Amino acid sequence: MKYEIKKGGMIFHAAHRLDEHGGACCNVHGHSYQVEVRLGSDTLDYMDMVIDFGEVKGTIEKWLDDNIDHCFIYDINDKISCELVEVLHKHKLKTFRMDTKPTAERMSELFMEIFSSLLKETGVIVTQVVVWETNKARSIYNYES
């Protein structure tokens, strides 16, 4: 890509648990996640931009707010989490389903797929998604051409 921009500071708060984890992460716990995305293009739009940062906010940040902020992220293969989800749904509380363990690594991979789909019509390529689980720990997923 000739041109690349980075949008960071997209924050969501969520809980999860890691089934089969040998430590404390097997318990339900939460994080203030931070998402950073890199977007690339070989050309610029009519405003000489890869994409307007406002459009990124209105698309990606809105998706995070609507779909995953303040929810319980769970693995459909985790029996305990699925039992908890039944209770949460009974009370109309927010959950987010994953087909894998809800690790930062898998979230960054899933977000790459979702964000790419959201921005498909723009012609912009999502080149990297970073998910910060804490201010010291992050996962990076890169686009493979």
Count of structural domains, the chain:
1
> What does pTM read for this prediction?
0.95
End-to-end CA distance of the chain: 11
pLDDT at 145: 62
Q: Is the separation of the CB atoms in 125 and 39 below 8 Å?
A: yes
Question: What CATH code is carried by the domain that includes residue 56?
Answer: 3.30.479.10
Q: Would you write out the chain's pLDDT as a tens digit for each of its 145 residues?
A: 899 999 999 999 999 999 999 999 999 999 999 999 999 999 999 999 999 999 999 999 999 999 999 999 999 999 999 999 999 999 999 999 999 999 999 999 999 999 999 999 999 999 999 999 999 999 999 998 6
Instruction: Provide the domain limits for residue 15.
Output: 3-142
**Residues noted as catalytic:** 25, 70, 133
**Residues 40 and 123 sit within 8 Å (Cβ to Cβ):** no
